Structure 1
């Protein structure tokens, strides 16, 4: 059991509020029986010491005890632990660091992680809005923030995730930011961006809009990954900013496997006939290189892939020149998936084509499009069935039944 002991100090102000000493010391044993450590925590007020003693014993009984010193680690320290605990690509770590520097570090970095409360999270959201960020972006960053706190809970650094209390109406388990209509370019806008792209990589832009590839996957198109007769693309390589020594021999270049999938789990996606012709025209104009017949080559270095960052910069410049600077390469994937949903293609097919982990991801991100597809499907079937069932109206209504007094026939159907 936790015990409280008062220790008098020799401070001349010991009986005044200005005394800095904490005379009430709580001693207790951590879980583990006699092997458990025996920490001591000091308090200035008796009521605070009593409250802590009751809480620590209750947490031990419930199996939710957390060492108070663990929560004194700063958010910055726990963030680094979280980033390094997972199996992340170097490029992903770099992106996370950029997000941390811009959105988390200035607000949370020096705070002890146990001191971050739901109120702190709400204040951070308000700060994000005051800086002009859209709510969808804030929600996405909050999902990442929640993952960090979930890690801290599982690592027994803190007891609860403050993000969950900060937004109780949010569905549990939702960790993806839904796409809105403003995030999806029209066909005219897609064509406008592609028209402004350098001809050397224009076919890569077409593969993102017409095949749903990611930027790194588009840069890794090759003759060997194409089934020209059937119009099927095997997405099994990607160009990345880091970790590519295996094939290219350089830190930056191409590597086997894609996001969420190893090389052996390559996904396949259909290639429209028009884009097959675009790929052929690209090879006729620029040729291919390497053993796999890579489509794209660096404009500066022979037999090297274009830089991933250079590719993104070219898209940004093309989007700006087309008058749609708010679109990113991911917008082309949004276009591909939205067009597939509009055509009522089954979600499990779409998820497999674009490399989602499952249909749940597609439903969460493109939920409003899925609902519209359902409505269109219902209207379509209503129109079809309405025409065919017209002659049968009045004949398929359920009969009305009323009780009668005849014991032999307890119920009588009334037409």
Structure 2
């Protein structure tokens, strides 16, 4: 059992109330009986000491005891432990370090991990919103935080995860995915304007984003082997990353096997519009291919290496500005791809597969509201077609007439 004992300090009596000493000592053993280590904690007030003594014995009985000294570990130290546990791809490792520096370090780095409360997490979320970050990105980073705190709980550094709280209004919770608005979707002439302002040897990559729904890294990793020319289908199984797993190229920057939300051996297929097939063919005729895979895009400054992902984004930003539509990003081209496909009547589940979404729920949450517009267009188109075909029948179709049972027997 925990014992509470007062050990008086040598300060004059009139100074004891203000002195820094903590005379009340709680002595207890960690779980394990006599084999458990003996610990002592000091408190300023007897009430605090009594409360801790009761809590520590209760936690031991419930099997949830946590060493208070461990809870004083700085968040930055726990982050490093979490980050270096297991194995991460270099690109993922670099991405996590960037997220930490830009979003977590200023808020949590020096804080004892046990002192981070649910209120602190809520304040951090509010700060993210004030910086203009979108809900989906905030939720992704909160999931990352929750993983770190979950590791700390599993490692018996803290007793609870401040990112996970009871929600009495669970049914009212909203998805982190926001439905795309009309302002986020470029028109065809705006897409063509951006392509016209891009460097010539990158235009095919932008066509791939707008016409095949590829992400920027996936577009830069197109190869002659990934294009199925006879069936006009593109095999999407690589992506360019700044710190990729580059067994193929042998350099730190290059492609890695697999794409977002898919394992290394997995791939997906997406159709290539006829115009984009011609663009790919013209690109190869003009710029050639390189490497064993027959990659279409090569760095203009470092031959034998892939263009930088960040460099593509800078080129796109400059092109969009020159085209008079600086509000658009490469993601806008994926919005264009989805909405154009929906307007053509293609089922949402097929579009989700082409896009490489983890499941159809993501596609439904972002684009589901657009299907009503597609249905309206389909209704109008069918109405126009059938109106002409049924003209000759007007006035010749008899209205149904109710017949009584007596009439039927008489007949």
TM-score category, normalised to shorter length: 0.7 to 0.9
User: What is the Cα-based RMSD across aligned positions, in Å?
Assistant: 3.6
**1:262-286 superposed Cα distances (whole Å, 9 cap, x missing partner):** 4531222221222111111211221
Alpha-carbon spacing, 1:205–1:144, altered in 2? closer, same or farther (3 Å): same
Alignment of 1:298-377 (within 5 A): 298-341=299-342, 343=344, 345-363=346-364, 367-373=365-371
* 8 Å contact kept, 1:231–1:270: yes
Deviations 1:156-215 (A, max 9, x none): 322222233497756799885435325444434332322211110111111122212222
Structure 1 residues 3 and 381, CA, compared in 2 at 3 Å: closer, same or farther? farther
Contact 2:135 2:178 in 1 (8 A): no
Match of 2:85 in 1: 85
- Alignment match, 1:212: 213
Gaps of at least 5 residues in structure 2 are: 388-397, 403-411
Question: Comparing 58-67 with 222-231, which one deviates more in the overlay?
Answer: 58-67
Matched position secondary structure for 1:265: coil
1:273 is aligned to 274
Look up the SS of the partner of 1:255 in the other structure: strand
Query: In 2, distance between residues paired with 1:392 and 1:99?
Result: 70
Separation in 2, partners of 1:26, 1:175: 47
Change in Cα spacing, 1:207 to 1:170, as seen in structure 2 (3 Å) is farther
What's the CA shift for 1:228? Answer: 0.7
Aligned-partner SS, 1:85? coil
Residue equivalent to 1:289: 290
Cα distance in 2 between the residues matched to 1:125 and 1:84: 26
Aligned twin of 1:163: 163
Question: 1:142 aligns to what?
Answer: 142
- 1:290-323 per-position Cα deviation (integer Å, ceiling 9, x unaligned): 2222111221233332222322221222222223
Gaps of 5+ in 1: 396-415
2: CA distance, partners of 1:273 / 1:245:
32
Q: Aligned partners of 1:251 and 1:392: how far apart in 2?
A: 76
Deviation at 1:144, TM superposition (A): 3.2
Q: CA offsets, 1:40-75, max 9 Å, x none?
A: 222111111222222222323333322222221222
**1:229/1:383 CA distance change after superposition, 3 Å:** closer
Please show how residues 231-250 of structure 1 align to structure 2 within 5 Å.
Answer: 231-250=232-251
SS at match of 1:254: strand
Call closer, same or farther: CA 1:91–1:125 in 2, change over 3 Å: same
1:2–1:53 contact (8 Å) kept in structure 2: yes
1:380–1:317 CA distance, 2 compared to 1 (3 A):
closer
- Per the alignment, residue 50 of structure 1 pairs with 50
Instruction: Determine the C-alpha separation between the residues in 2 that align with 1:49 and 1:138.
Output: 40
Number of aligned positions between the proteins: 390
Q: Which residue of 2 aligns with 1:404?
A: none
Cα separation, partners in 2 of 1:13 and 1:209, compared to 1, 3 Å: farther
1:216-244 deviation line (CA, Å, top 9, x unaligned)? 22111111111111111111222221144
Structure 2 distance, partners of 1:317, 1:234, is 29
Structure 2 matches for 1:119-268, cutoff 5 A?
119-133=119-133, 137-165=137-165, 176-181=176-181, 182-268=183-269
Change in 2 beyond 3 A, CA 1:348/1:383: closer
In structure 1, distance between residues paired with 2:31 and 2:257: 47
- Aligned partner of residue 164 in structure 1, secondary structure: coil
Match runs of 1:95-106 below 5 Å:
95-106=95-106
C-alpha separation between the residues in 2 aligned to 1:305 and 1:161?
A: 42
TM-score using structure 2 length: 0.81
The 3-state SS of whatever aligns with 1:213 is coil
Q: Distance in 1 between matches of 2:208 and 2:33?
A: 62
Pairwise mapping of residues 385-404 of structure 1 onto structure 2 (< 5 A)?
Answer: none
